[in-house]
Amino acid sequence: MTRVFIDADACPVKGETLRVADRHHIQVFVVSNGGVRPNPHPLVETVVVDDGPDVADMWIANRCKRGDVVITGDIPLAAKCLEMDARVIQHNGEVFTKSNIGNRLATRDLMQDLRAADPFRQGGGKPFSKADRSRFLDILEREVRFAQQD
């Protein structure tokens, strides 16, 4: 049975995820270190893990499996979930796959090195847009349907 795991800290698409999960009657785990308001919806389980680096990530990675969908912007978590044969989506609708995760990890590491070498380097991600939200909904719907067939 398909389940959805949300890496909830700083995830802007929790509501959209619940709409899709509700349509397909699938359980959603909203996982964080705290600060996320519990949702009373019967399909939602709010999981608050201990503080610490990657504790929420490990909770998700240790439970996801083939047929599940994970929503995260964390590239190392995405890689772990792909190893478990879960489907993984970033909140802007980009899909992590076994064929693109190596490149994504390498780019992440390169950017980390560049930021460490130049602490005054300005920048950041682009703002989350309505188009990102719409793309996410379309991709999540597709990935849930594929996951249910796995």
Given the structure tokens 């919806």, which residue do they identify? 41
Domain ranges of the chain: 3-121+130-149
pTM tops 0.95: no
The SS3 of residue 27 is strand
Cβ neighbors of 97 (< 8 A, separation 6 or more) are: 82
Instruction: Please list the pLDDT of the chain residue by residue as tens digits (150 residues).
Output: 899 999 987 789 999 999 999 999 999 999 998 878 888 999 999 999 998 888 999 999 999 999 999 999 899 999 999 999 999 999 989 999 998 877 776 666 666 656 667 767 666 667 778 888 999 999 999 999 999 987
Q: Which CATH class is domain 3-121+130-149?
A: alpha beta
% helix, strand, coil for the chain, step of 5? 45, 15, 40
Looking only at the bridges linking them, the beta strands covering 44-48 and 3-7 are unpaired
- What pLDDT, on a 0 to 100 scale, did the predictor assign at position 36? 82
Q: Coil, strand or helix: which one is 31?
A: strand
Half-sphere exposure for 59 (CA within 13 Å, toward CB): 21
Residue 129: the pLDDT is 84
* Cα distance between residue 39 and residue 96, in whole Å: 27
* Cα–Cα dist 150/134, whole Å: 25
